Structure 1
Amino acid sequence: MSLSELHLALLLTSPRHGYEVKKQHDAWFPEAKPLAFGQVYATLGRLVRDGLAEVVETRSDGGPERTVYSVTVAGRERLEAWLSEPAPPAGSGGEDIVRKTVVALRTPRSGQSANEVVARQRTAHLRRMRELQQNGDEGTDVAVQLARRHAVLHLDADLRWLEEAVQTLSVRPAALGVGGGPAARPGDSSPAPSPHPMEGLA
């Protein structure tokens, strides 16, 4: 996640103090994990240190003093450069669900089998998918709708991978010494794919 660039974008729309940065970020990305205040202030501090943001005032508004930040010319250039650079395509195998499955397969003594890891992850993904579907798009602006749609499609792709992992582990559980039966022999046929996990959720 490009926290620095997101903070620059939030400051570009209007000078803000840390609480406002967090509040606006969470409004822009309601389906994402809320920013922690520690992340906000640490990021703002780095931006000021690097000359990408600056302190414009300190105000209290009847409460505790708050430091207000604004983006600098260098910060605008950094944000423009970030926006002009395509994001790296997904599929590098570096996501946590892939890492955990591979680790469980490679470390049978860890106490967590790959089947258990995949099953728990599938349950968590299905739960999150239901939450997103229940939220709906009514009354939200197009930016929020697009962000939510991306989250849904990403979850859908993960669920397809998890379903395939379940099928693979059921046929080849001993391929890496994870136990549960003999590995599939060359020429063995794979079981017919099960219905996609999204079916029946609506």
Structure 2
Amino acid sequence: MSLVELHLALLTAGPAHGYDLKREYDAWFPDAKPLPFGQVYATLGRLVRDGLAEVVETRSEGGPERTVYTVTDAGRARLREWLAEPAPPAVSGTEDLVRKTVVALRTRDPDRPASAFVDDQRVAHLRRIRSLAAAAPAGPGEDLGSRLARRYAALHLDADLRWLDEAATALETRPRHPDQEGPR
């Protein structure tokens, strides 16, 4: 995820302080991991350092001091360049799901076979898909961005489920004797 460009995008709505950006990010991506405040302020510091954003004021509204930021012309140009480049396909054998499945298979724990991990993972994925469906607001007032982000998550979970089905089938049909499996 490119936090620099996401912060720039959030700032295009107008000047804002870090709390506003975090709240807006969490609204834009309601099913993603919430953005930590420390990451927000660290990224804002880099944006200012690199001339992509600037401080427009520092104010205290009866609470802690808040610094208000705005995007610069250079920041808008950076955001346009980022949006013009297609995102690389996120196909990687280093995803946690793949790593854990391979580890479960290769470690051959007699108390917890790889098939148990695959079964538990399927249950977790199905629960998450159901929670995404239950969280979906219905009606014309639904935010299109949130709906698309939720749909993206559900489709990725569905693809993971199909891969888990293949893994389960492969585990059922693999040779049972360790010498028949080839090198480790």
TM-score interval, smaller chain: 0.7 to 0.9
Asked if 1:124 is matched to 2:124, the reply is yes
Please identify runs of 4+ aligned residues in structure 1 that moved more than 4 A: none
Q: Which residue of 1 aligns with 2:62?
A: 62
Q: Which residue of 2 aligns with 1:170?
A: 172
Looking at structure 1, the residues matched to 24 and 94 of structure 2 have their Cα atoms a distance apart, in angstroms, of 29
Looking at structure 2, the residues matched to 43 and 60 of structure 1 have their Cα atoms a distance apart, in angstroms, of 22
Q: Which amino acid aligns with 1:8?
A: L
Asked if 1:103 is matched to 2:103, the reply is yes
The alpha carbon displacement at 1:37 in A equals 0.8
- Pair 1:46–1:103, CA change in 2 (3 A): farther
Runs of 5+ unmatched residues, structure 1 = 184-202
Q: Which residue of 2 aligns with 1:51?
A: 51
Q: Which residue of 1 aligns with 2:26?
A: 26
Secondary structure in structure 2 of the residue aligned to 1:92 = coil
> What root-mean-square deviation, in Å, do the aligned CA atoms of Structure 1 and Structure 2 show?
2.3
Q: Which structure would you say has the larger RCO, counting Cα contacts within 8 Å and 6 or more residues apart?
A: 2
Structure 1 residues 103-124: Cα deviation after superposition (integer angstroms, max 9, x where no partner)? 3334447x86533432332222
Looking at structure 2, the residues matched to 102 and 155 of structure 1 have their Cα atoms a distance apart, in angstroms, of 18
Higher helix share: 2
Q: Which residue of 2 aligns with 1:140?
A: 142
- Pair 1:167–1:17, CA change in 2 (3 A): same
The alpha carbon displacement at 1:102 in A equals 2.2
Looking at structure 1, the residues matched to 152 and 136 of structure 2 have their Cα atoms a distance apart, in angstroms, of 13
The alpha carbon displacement at 1:150 in A equals 1.1
The alpha carbon displacement at 1:2 in A equals 1.1
Looking at structure 2, the residues matched to 40 and 116 of structure 1 have their Cα atoms a distance apart, in angstroms, of 39
Structure 1 residues 137-156: Cα deviation after superposition (integer angstroms, max 9, x where no partner)? 31412121111111111111
Runs of 5+ unmatched residues, structure 2 = none
Looking at structure 2, the residues matched to 49 and 117 of structure 1 have their Cα atoms a distance apart, in angstroms, of 46
- Pair 1:14–1:112, CA change in 2 (3 A): farther
